[in-house]
Structure 1
Amino acid sequence: MRLNHLDLAVPDVAATADFFVRGCGFTQRSTRGANAMAVLQAEDGFVLVLTATMDPHYPEGFHIGFLQPSDDAVHAAHATLMDAGFDAPPPAVGYGCLQFWVRAPGGIVVEIGHRS
């Protein structure tokens, strides 16, 4: 079984889509309504759907994680996010991998890392 998509509720679809497109390399495939929904796709085919919700609530500790193929790729992902104007602490070793955490618009926590 393969994960088809993930649908995240966010208060500002456009800002969150911008984060994933400019900061994480997703391609925006479609939008619906004025800031109502965006469908994004990663290079590997994974689909991320962003749906407008005024006040989304996620449980403490909720996050989404993306694996990179190497430590160099983690550093490159960090640089891309910084160049796109997003702020994240530098990658560090934790939980057995090189990783960093960044908060996307709307409060979604994103982990980017590599496990050797």
Structure 2
Amino acid sequence: MLLNHLNLCVDNLEEAERFFIHYFKFKARNDCNDVIKVLQDESGFTLVLSSLGGEHPTYPFSFHLGFYVTTAQEVDEIHQRLVADGYSTGVPKIVRGQYSFYFQALDGLLFEVTATE
């Protein structure tokens, strides 16, 4: 079985689309409109961003989006880009045996970036 897609409700579709494209190498697909943005990553995973029409989405405590990259250097590069762009992030460190960091963006969504090597 293969997880095909995830629908993530966000406050600002355009901001979220730019964020995922810029920091996590997603590509925009053509089947987008004013209510949804459809993105795809390098492995073929589809991320659907949707708007609740002005209602702020809420997620449970500890809900987060985790991204794996191959090396610690990639973790550091993403961290440095986020910090340079004004995001407040945790410092990359070893967590549960893997090099990673956490940060919040897009109106409070929690993100994790972890190296697999």
Tell me if TM exceeds 0.5. Answer: yes
1:1-116 aligned within 5 A: 1-30=1-30, 31-33=32-34, 36-53=35-52, 54-116=55-117
Q: Deviations over 1:37-86 (max 9, x none)?
A: 11111111111111002221111000010111111121122233344554
Task: Specify every segment of 5 or more residues in structure 2 that has no aligned partner in the other structure, as ranges.
Answer: none
Whole-Å separation in 2 of the counterparts to 1:104 and 1:26: 16
Whole-Å separation in 2 of the counterparts to 1:76 and 1:67: 13
Whole-Å separation in 2 of the counterparts to 1:5 and 1:69: 22
Q: Percent identity?
A: 32
Whole-Å separation in 2 of the counterparts to 1:84 and 1:103: 13
- Following TM superposition, by how much is the alpha carbon of 1:98 offset from its aligned partner in structure 2, in angstroms? 0.6
Amino acid at match of 1:15: E
1:96/1:67 Cα in 2 relative to 1: closer, same or farther (>3 Å)?
A: same
Amino acid at match of 2:59: Y
Aligned residues between the structures:
114
Secondary structure at the counterpart of residue 17 of structure 1: helix
Amino acid at match of 2:92: P
Q: Would you identify which runs of 4 or more consecutive aligned residues in structure 1 move more than 4 Å?
A: none
Amino acid at match of 2:68: L
The TM-score normalised by the length of structure 2 is 0.85
Give me the CA root mean square deviation: 1.7
Q: Deviations over 1:5-63 (max 9, x none)?
A: 11101111111111111122111113212xx2111111111111110022211110000
- Following TM superposition, by how much is the alpha carbon of 1:3 offset from its aligned partner in structure 2, in angstroms? 1.2
The TM-score normalised by the length of structure 1 is 0.86
